[in-house]
């Protein structure tokens, strides 16, 4: 077993999770940041991070960090951390292809005594069911004899102030001894502390349960919003009154997308179903939250009809296309789903977002962003994401984008006062 001083780390995947982790380790321990994207590696070598999670100064502070897209460069590493995406397919079934490919790549350089820690979100048991067989097959080594594994759920939240070192890290290993070693490695950078569990399945379950719980609570708030809307009551006013009680939970209605809450529950639901159990509450929460874009579109079209605006000849502006405020991440971003629903009624839709990567939006969603919205042009302006830049624009400039006298302003995130909004969740 290698001691900390002999540990050489390789972080596989330089996205929102892997990069902050590699930078943190790279300040103290010899670390390699690996990604299959040549463009991404070239950017990081220059100290540029398109996700805007890490500044150039922070990246360059990691003096022991080396970036590469050559897997053979990882041969000297003995502690591998896998931080690649774990999406779902069009049928909401877990897609393990990124994990399988990453595992196969690591197997090419895996040696006796090496440790592979997975941080990608999976269902309980997936590390040993999906990843370990790939490592064994491709390396010819035997699990828990020649090499070892661990699981530590990532808890990064893009655009939040908390850094990876400030968040308590749950750790686990394939043996008790390996678990202690993995925990000690993470302790080198996690100032908030670590929480070692005895079973990798517990660590795997921790993340999906965490996000499924949030998904369920948001779904309830979305149901309340829809119900209050039909009763002619302002949902935000109801929640403000409710929260005067000390044990009220601080959840609000809204779009649920991104790479965590909008995806992770499907991993848990999938595994439970394989074992003969249907998680009805979790499944229905997903149905409710996935239905919010349609609700927003229908509410917009109904208001158009009320104002004698023909939806088939109307124009809508969606402000914000990322999955959360002040963040350029467009993975599973729900504003695009609002547009799809509006287009069913013949509404022409423009998208405006000053903080996302235009090329990425075009590559992923085949959508062109507009540089500057026209004044007095839109029948409905939908503020879908509460970017600070939108708040700084002010209500007058935003409402001026709508047609004078008839333009509808739909403030999904309740950024502005309710007297200034025509529609809200």
302 and 263 in one domain?
Answer: no
Point out the domain boundary residue: 252, 282, 312: 282
Instruction: Annotate 267-333 with three-state secondary structure.
Output: HHHHHHHHCCCCCHHHHHHHHHHHCHHHHHHHHHHHHHHHCCCCHHHCEEEEECCCCCCCCCCCCCC
Flag whether pLDDT at 414 surpasses 50: yes
Flag whether pLDDT at 259 surpasses 90: no
Name the DSSP class of 22. Answer: H
Point out the domain boundary residue: 156, 173, 198: 198
129 and 100 in one domain?
Answer: yes
180 and 157 in one domain?
Answer: yes
364 and 320 in one domain?
Answer: yes
d(CA 333, CA 258): 6
56 and 173 in one domain?
Answer: yes
231-257 pLDDT, tens digit per residue, is: 999 999 999 999 999 999 989 999 999
308-321 pLDDT, tens digit per residue, is: 999 999 999 999 99
Point out the domain boundary residue: 182, 198, 214: 198
Instruction: Annotate 41-53 with three-state secondary structure.
Output: HHHHHCCCCCCCC
72 and 208 in one domain?
Answer: no
111 and 97 in one domain?
Answer: yes
Question: 247: domain CATH number?
Answer: 1.10.1040
Tell me phi and psi for residue 150, to 5 degrees.
-160, 170
How confident is the prediction for the chain on average, in pLDDT?
95
217 and 161 in one domain?
Answer: no
In the chain, the largest separation of any two C-alpha atoms, in whole Å, equals 74
Q: What is the structure's pLDDT at 1?
A: 46
219 and 253 in one domain?
Answer: yes
Q: What is the structure's pLDDT at 321?
A: 97
Question: 319: domain CATH number?
Answer: 3.40.50.720
345-377 pLDDT, tens digit per residue, is: 999 999 999 999 999 999 999 999 999 999 999
151-169 pLDDT, tens digit per residue, is: 999 988 777 777 899 999 9
Tell me phi and psi for residue 311, to 5 degrees.
-55, -35
d(CA 127, CA 200): 8
Judge whether 260 counts as a catalytic residue.
yes
Catalytic residue, candidates 131, 206, 260, 327: 260
Query: For residue 217, what are the domain limits?
Result: 202-282
405 and 322 in one domain?
Answer: yes
> Which pTM value belongs to this model?
0.93
144 and 239 in one domain?
Answer: no
Q: CB neighbours (10 Å) of residue 343?
A: 13
Flag whether pLDDT at 2 surpasses 90: no
The mean per-residue pLDDT over the stretch 82-98 comes to: 95
Q: Count of domains in the chain?
A: 3
301 and 266 in one domain?
Answer: no
Report which of 193, 35, 278, 95 is spatially closest to residue 44, judged by C-alpha positions: 35
Report which of 351, 352, 341 is spatially closest to residue 292, judged by C-alpha positions: 341
């Amino acid at each position: 077993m290698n001691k900390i001083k002999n540990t050489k780390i390789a972080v596989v995947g330089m996205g929102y999770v892997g990069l902050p982790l590699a930078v943190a380790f790279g300040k103290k321990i010899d670390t390699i940041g690996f990604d299959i994207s040549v463009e991404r590696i070239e950017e990081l070598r220059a100290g540029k991070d398109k996700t805007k999670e890490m500044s150039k100064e922070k990246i360059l502070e990691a003096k022991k960090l080396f970036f590469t897209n050559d897997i053979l460069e990882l041969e000297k590493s003995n502690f591998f951390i896998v931080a690649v995406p774990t999406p779902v397919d069009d049928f909401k079934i877990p897609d393990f292809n990124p994990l399988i490919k990453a595992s196969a790549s690591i197997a090419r350089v895996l040696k006796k005594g090496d440790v592979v820690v997975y941080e990608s979100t999976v269902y309980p048991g997936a590390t040993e069911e999906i990843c370990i067989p790939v490592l064994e097959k491709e390396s010819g080594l035997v699990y828990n004899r020649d090499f070892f594994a661990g699981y530590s759920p990532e808890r990064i939240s893009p655009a939040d102030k908390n850094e990876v070192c400030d968040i308590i890290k749950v750790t686990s290993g394939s043996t008790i001894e390996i678990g202690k070693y993995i925990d000690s490695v993470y302790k080198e950078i996690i100032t908030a502390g670590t929480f070692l569990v005895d079973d990798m399945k517990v660590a795997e379950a921790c993340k999906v349960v965490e996000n499924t719980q949030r998904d369920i609570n948001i779904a309830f708030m979305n149901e309340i919003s829809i119900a209050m809307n039909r009763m002619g009551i302002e949902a935000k006013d109801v929640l403000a009154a409710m929260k005067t009680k000390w044990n009220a939970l601080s959840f609000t209605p809204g779009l649920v997308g991104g790479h965590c809450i909008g995806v992770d529950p499907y991993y848990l639901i999938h595994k439970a179903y394989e074992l003969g159990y249907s998680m009805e509450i979790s499944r229905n929460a997903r149905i409710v939250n996935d239905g919010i874009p349609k609700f927003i579109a229908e509410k917009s079209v109904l208001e158009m009809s009320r104002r004698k605006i023909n939806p088939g000849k109307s124009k809508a502006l969606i402000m914000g296309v990322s999955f959360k405020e002040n963040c350029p991440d467009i993975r599973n971003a729900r504003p695009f789903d609002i547009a799809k629903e509006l287009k069913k009624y013949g509404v022409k839709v423009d998208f405006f977002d000053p903080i996302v990567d235009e090329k990425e939006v075009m590559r992923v969603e085949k959508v062109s962003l507009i540089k500057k919205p026209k004044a007095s042009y839109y029948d409905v302006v939908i503020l879908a994401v509460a970017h600070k830049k939108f708040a700084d624009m002010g209500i007058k400039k935003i409402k001026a984008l709508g047609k004078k006298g008839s333009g509808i302003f739909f403030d999904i995130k309740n950024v502005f006062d309710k007297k200034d909004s025509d529609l809200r969740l």
